[in-house]
Structure 1
């Protein structure tokens, strides 16, 4: 087995390192602290693309309304994330929203990881903790591997990418290390079902790992059929009770049709972004090919028909094959991402190589150990270091003042950045022709506008202003807008004002990647919306494109200047009431 070295030491090796507590209890102890943290009104330093987080509030508010992801609104991710976020938000309404979004997946990953830990702990406590510690670091810290801004901050984007990578980590750990069939099969079925419901490319990557496990004999035919049956049964029950599965498949097809770029440039880009990991892995693959290649060729040379299946399984179960396949799956997954915790699920395979490295001698042993460290430590240290830097850095930050943002405003940033955001609001409102020029040229005011904390703060300030302006308009005119839509990437206003979101429209509305052309049903839903907001601080090409998509449904609405940063389209009759 892959854990021979540590199995010989057993639990004694773990105790020698001070690991006397069973890893499952350590996991439970960490989980027990989280509800307390979510009950506190904490702030986190706002970071790049923080507004991606607001998509979850839009989705959660729709779930509270009884809407179903995919069936009642178009979403950039699978339904599971919105359900988990909504459930956790209902339990902890005062919790810091990014922590809720990050930790809600533990409702799925923690039980599955516990099954892995119980199985591995029976043979080696050290190995079990070597799997647990990275899992906790990646699961608890809302931090991506990629760094898009130099000030300390927490990443509000790539959340469902992080969720997917964490699920793949649990799946890889189970496929590589779990020996008990009654523990392995539930982990595979649960992880694959969750992957399907979070992000389809993660499901494909997980399928590649499962296929290798089957070829390597880690999962037999009966087990594979049992997992497939459980998966199909789970989807069938979900379709019967919620009706989301078939619409979700249709949404996936729509997203694929909107993102038909060649994969080769994306592979090159993903390799470049993650070269600090891809490079050492590639060298390690070459090293293992050099060290094990002759052994594999000898096994093939002595192949007899009678032991063809055993030979195929032996070759598929080699470190070289596991590393190559897992790295390819990770690289494929990253071709569809702009942020997340890329390549973390290669760690269990690297750990397998590490515990078997004593079969090499001399320079070969040193080379393998060094390459395993080079391939695993950068990602771990990047996430840990950025998380620690953000938490320490906010000591000198100030909280964002607001009136109407609820917990969405639980953020902080450097005082001078907050003051800059206030002045930008004045500039956006006072010189509109400047920003209209940028929009007409299909340019942003800054090439990296959405990564900049001052933009994220400006957007939050503008949202606070819009919510106050809506309440003031309603009080002045004796009306109440029950449905609110925002011609923008995000729409937290129904949640902030306890209203309803327009059915069928896309949330996380990137018009260039994730908004299908509206059909008659979508336009009818927009036409019936009481209030449609249009942001002007600043005017952007993306917002103008969204407006052009929905313009046919707004012909009868009255356009008003709601505030200095917002126009609004009011449903006929409401403005004059």
Structure 2
């Protein structure tokens, strides 16, 4: 008898209410989220928030005919950018972080619906137990990690959250779905999306799929069908757009930029996520010890018979499922900073709970305690931080920057907004101090990019630049058709309805995400009408970007655009009167 068998019997003996149907609940949630994206909402700005604006740069490029990887260098796959570009067109007034977060449901909701429909035929309770955590993690733009003490949302790690949500759907399908078509579509769809979101997630998903095949949960016919479907879509993309080969090339370039030993990253990931990893490791060890006699017997049987059925009998056990998925989750976290670490272990934990009935009291208590310790802290952490952000916003004020459109759909404590304005003035009045810090390879604050007031200052500076560009164009009688920003993010083409130069990396971190420019890139820089160089504050990263693209600045003249911005303007445009 399983732990929830009595509930299942009651479930089978009553008419299932439509109100508790997981498919109806999922559809209702999607409808509500779509309505919310039509409203002009604000969210409390949080740490590393400017990562979100990479998506505006990508969307502008996409709508101007550029392809991710082909026409501009990307740190991750194209799917997240394509979804954002589509949804920001459909919901132009939507809060951009919510668009980035919820647009993934165009992929995850249909795939999860297939899994839920399959599971619901046998157990309404299990299907709901899969749906509810997914909705919490999918709806809230919150990471597991906390980088700032004040309540706020997380505009960074978006593609890491997307990757973990896709892995959640994949794992749920592999663990609980029984229909061959459901399993095939779930594998093909999830793995395709993982490949096109972030290669690390694809590698983690491949580990889980390989184990599921070895454990007999995926038949050879289903595996071949999923692989052929996956390859067919990639081949079609490559033939029509060349995106796949370009993406693989970008991955190779990033690997070259970020070489290093993998062992320290495993140790770091285990340390950062100790809250989840430690109880998962203990639970895995406990299940191994409890089932050791059976495991030894199955191992002996496999050694004697060497049959596939004996291998399946050995591997299809809770301890090996948990160990493999936990390892895959840890591997995924070796390449991430921010996200929803370990959430896709939940379907395996749910399987353990389902199969725990009939165990002795002490064993049941041990399993329940360790499952709770493994799952609840992450679940509660995300809900807690989301609730704090929602409630804390009551006392916040909105950023007043009308020229920025939805980029300024943020709020924060009044004292932080005032501090941002004071810091902007300080950068302008005392530039020598910040030049000195940059000379010493120091930021104005050691955790500058964590701090919401920096991102507020940056947004205020962007609005200043937009107004200054428009004033310069009016004074000179010119129009800058291509605009580049020697900074991490380039929102100006989106804000001014212009174009970004082709070949330039988005999310321009010169330390780990900008390859050395080749001649084609430098040619593109030379042809750019206007390049912006931020001064509020001067940073080592911005200096490195300027030096990296310096050969392409020939034929441009540097002028003071505003107190916070210098500009490199093409000489032939400056000559016009």
TM over 0.5: yes
Distance in 2, Cα, partners of 1:142 & 1:24? 23
Give the Å deviation of 1:5.
5.3
Q: Does 1:10 align with 2:8?
A: yes
Match of 1:97? 96
Distance in 1, Cα, partners of 2:561 & 2:35? 40
Distance in 1, Cα, partners of 2:32 & 2:163? 24
CA 1:23–1:438: 2 relative to 1, 3 Å: same
**Normalised by the size of structure 1, how large is the TM-score?**
0.98
Give the Å deviation of 1:304.
6.4
Q: Does 1:178 align with 2:168?
A: no
Q: Does 1:237 align with 2:236?
A: yes
Match of 1:285? 284
Match of 1:501? 500
Higher deviation after alignment, 341-350 or 433-442: 433-442
Distance in 1, Cα, partners of 2:260 & 2:327? 19
Match of 1:413? 412
Give the Å deviation of 1:359.
4.0
CA 1:17–1:282: 2 relative to 1, 3 Å: farther
Match of 2:256? 257
Give the Å deviation of 1:354.
1.1
What are the within-5 Å matches in structure 2 for residues 140-159 of structure 1?
140-159=139-158
Distance in 1, Cα, partners of 2:135 & 2:179? 23
What are the within-5 Å matches in structure 2 for residues 53-202 of structure 1?
53-202=52-201
What are the within-5 Å matches in structure 2 for residues 322-337 of structure 1?
322-337=321-336
Give the Å deviation of 1:316.
1.3
CA contact (8 A) 2:4 2:357 kept: no
**Normalised by the size of structure 2, how large is the TM-score?**
0.98
CA 1:41–1:534: 2 relative to 1, 3 Å: same
Match of 1:344? 343
Match of 1:25? 24
Distance in 1, Cα, partners of 2:11 & 2:365? 22
CA 1:382–1:359: 2 relative to 1, 3 Å: same
Higher deviation after alignment, 361-370 or 523-532: 361-370
CA 1:422–1:219: 2 relative to 1, 3 Å: same
Please list the CA deviations of residues 439-481 of structure 1 after superposition, one character each: whole Å capped at 9, or x if unmatched.
1111111111001010010000000100010001101110100
Please list the CA deviations of residues 413-436 of structure 1 after superposition, one character each: whole Å capped at 9, or x if unmatched.
000000000000011111111111
Distance in 1, Cα, partners of 2:162 & 2:570? 39
Distance in 1, Cα, partners of 2:509 & 2:318? 41
Distance in 1, Cα, partners of 2:302 & 2:559? 79
Match of 1:299? 298
CA contact (8 A) 1:51 1:456 kept: yes
Match of 2:382? 383
| Dislocated runs of 4+, deviation >6 Å | 14-19
CA contact (8 A) 1:271 1:278 kept: yes
CA contact (8 A) 2:3 2:353 kept: no
CA contact (8 A) 2:283 2:370 kept: yes
CA contact (8 A) 1:11 1:123 kept: no
Please list the CA deviations of residues 62-104 of structure 1 after superposition, one character each: whole Å capped at 9, or x if unmatched.
0000100000000111000110000000100010000000000
CA contact (8 A) 2:2 2:358 kept: no
Q: Secondary structure at the match of 2:568?
A: strand
Please list the CA deviations of residues 379-432 of structure 1 after superposition, one character each: whole Å capped at 9, or x if unmatched.
111111101110110000000001310100000000000000000001111111
Distance in 1, Cα, partners of 2:30 & 2:248? 33
Distance in 2, Cα, partners of 1:455 & 1:302? 63
Q: Secondary structure at the match of 2:572?
A: coil
Distance in 2, Cα, partners of 1:435 & 1:315? 63
Give the Å deviation of 1:6.
4.3
CA contact (8 A) 1:289 1:320 kept: yes
Distance in 1, Cα, partners of 2:305 & 2:262? 41
Distance in 1, Cα, partners of 2:303 & 2:266? 39
Give the Å deviation of 1:19.
8.2
Q: Does 1:426 align with 2:419?
A: no
CA contact (8 A) 1:6 1:123 kept: no
Give the Å deviation of 1:355.
1.1
CA contact (8 A) 1:7 1:123 kept: no
Distance in 2, Cα, partners of 1:429 & 1:450? 19
CA contact (8 A) 1:51 1:157 kept: yes
Q: Secondary structure at the match of 2:407?
A: helix
- Where does the alignment leave 5 or more consecutive residues of structure 1 unmatched? none
Match of 2:202? 203
CA contact (8 A) 2:257 2:513 kept: yes
What are the within-5 Å matches in structure 2 for residues 552-567 of structure 1?
552-567=551-566
CA 1:369–1:17: 2 relative to 1, 3 Å: farther
Distance in 2, Cα, partners of 1:7 & 1:170? 24
Give the Å deviation of 1:308.
2.5
Give the Å deviation of 1:20.
5.0
Give the Å deviation of 1:240.
1.5
Distance in 1, Cα, partners of 2:509 & 2:428? 23
Higher deviation after alignment, 397-406 or 61-70: 397-406
Distance in 2, Cα, partners of 1:304 & 1:484? 66
CA 1:303–1:167: 2 relative to 1, 3 Å: closer
Higher deviation after alignment, 354-363 or 187-196: 354-363
- Where does the alignment leave 5 or more consecutive residues of structure 2 unmatched? none
Q: Secondary structure at the match of 2:549?
A: helix
CA contact (8 A) 2:19 2:25 kept: no
Give the Å deviation of 1:243.
1.7
Give the Å deviation of 1:11.
7.0
Give the Å deviation of 1:232.
0.7
Q: Does 1:537 align with 2:526?
A: no
Give the Å deviation of 1:13.
3.5
Distance in 1, Cα, partners of 2:344 & 2:130? 10
What are the within-5 Å matches in structure 2 for residues 456-535 of structure 1?
456-535=455-534
Give the Å deviation of 1:300.
2.0
Q: Secondary structure at the match of 2:504?
A: coil
Q: Secondary structure at the match of 2:248?
A: helix
Give the Å deviation of 1:18.
8.0
Match of 1:394? 393
Give the Å deviation of 1:302.
3.6
Distance in 2, Cα, partners of 1:310 & 1:526? 61
Q: Does 1:246 align with 2:262?
A: no
Distance in 1, Cα, partners of 2:494 & 2:251? 26
Distance in 2, Cα, partners of 1:536 & 1:264? 39
CA 1:250–1:304: 2 relative to 1, 3 Å: closer
Distance in 1, Cα, partners of 2:103 & 2:66? 20
